[in-house]
Structure 1
Amino acid sequence: MLAEDDQVMRTYLTRALEKAGYLVDAVDRGTAALPLLEAHRFDLLLTDIVMPEMDGIELAQRAAELAPAMRVMFITGFAAVTLRAGEAMPNARILSKPFHLRELVAEVDRMFAPDLASGHN
């Protein structure tokens, strides 16, 4: 699940992850992600932190209630919110903008590395 309010960035990230072999459902805000998170099982929530209506931290906290085993990765261009995200969700990864798509895919791959090693997806 990808939640990113910037349409260009959302398209860019979706294409990169799909090219790397991941299935991606992308939404433009946290409030749009919640119904999907309630209805489907996702392995990863990749969310921008600063979004309208519901920020990525609140979305991740709500998602953790729905699916405690789901991995979380935040993306942000703001150093101040990086610290807040780390405090709110200590097990989440944080990727600071700007980043190269290879970095994003490598981080996502690393999050799934134990599963890949054991043959699970």
Structure 2
Amino acid sequence: MARILLAEDDDSMRRFLAKALENAGHEVIAYGRGDQAHDKLKHDIFDILLTDIVMPEMDGIELARHAAELDPTMKIMFITGFAAVALNPENAAPKDAKVLSKPFHLKDLVAEVERLMAA
């Protein structure tokens, strides 16, 4: 079981992803904005940061950089319809971050989370 911090600004997508991960046995704390998730990271420990890239206030790449500074062992996965943005070196996303491109099947998300935890 992983403890996952989920940052996704789309309410229905956030609930959908959280429910799927919880059904797979993971603990999920979810926020709709990157800055809210960042505040939680300052005071709590997570195994995985699962974040959308495009969000208001603080985007997922900035959130991931802060997460990597706070806890270099935390695994990071982007969920996005804009995978090329995450892979652009100018954005300086953490080098070990994984990218899962939307649309994806929930079983693929669960499988990727399990792969991250096994690594």
TM norm structure 2: 0.90
Q: Please, which runs of 5 or more residues in structure 2 have no aligned partner? A: none
Q: Report the 3-state secondary structure (helix = DSSP H, G, I; strand = E; otherwise coil) of the residue aligned with 1:47.
A: strand
Trace 1:94-109 onto structure 2 (pairs within 5 A): 94-109=99-114
Instruction: Give, in angstroms, the shift of residue 80 of structure 1.
Output: 3.1
Q: How many residues in Structure 1 have an aligned counterpart in Structure 2?
A: 114
Q: Normalized per residue, which structure has more strand?
A: 2
Find 1:81's aligned residue among 70, 82, 85.
85
Report the equivalent of 2:96.
91
SS at match of 1:25: strand
The one-character-per-residue Cα deviations of 1:33-75 (angstroms, maximum 9, x if unpaired) are: 1111011100000000000111100000011111111000001
Partner of 2:48: 44
Residue 9 (structure 2) aligns with: 5
* Percent of matched pairs sharing the same residue: 61
Q: CA deviation at 1:90?
A: 1.6
1:68 aligned onto 2:62: no
Q: CA deviation at 1:79?
A: 3.7
Selected match of 1:58 from 35, 59, 62:
62
Structure 2 distance, partners of 1:81, 1:112, is 24
Structure 1 residues 99 and 36: alpha-carbon distance in aligned structure 2, compared to 1, 3 A threshold: same
Structure 1, unpaired ranges of 5+: 115-121
Structure 1 segments of 4+ aligned residues over 3 angstroms from their partners: none
- Normalised TM-score (structure 1): 0.89
Q: CA deviation at 1:110?
A: 0.5
Report the counterpart of residue 37 of structure 2 in structure 1: 33
Calculate the aligned-residue CA RMSD, in Å.
1.4
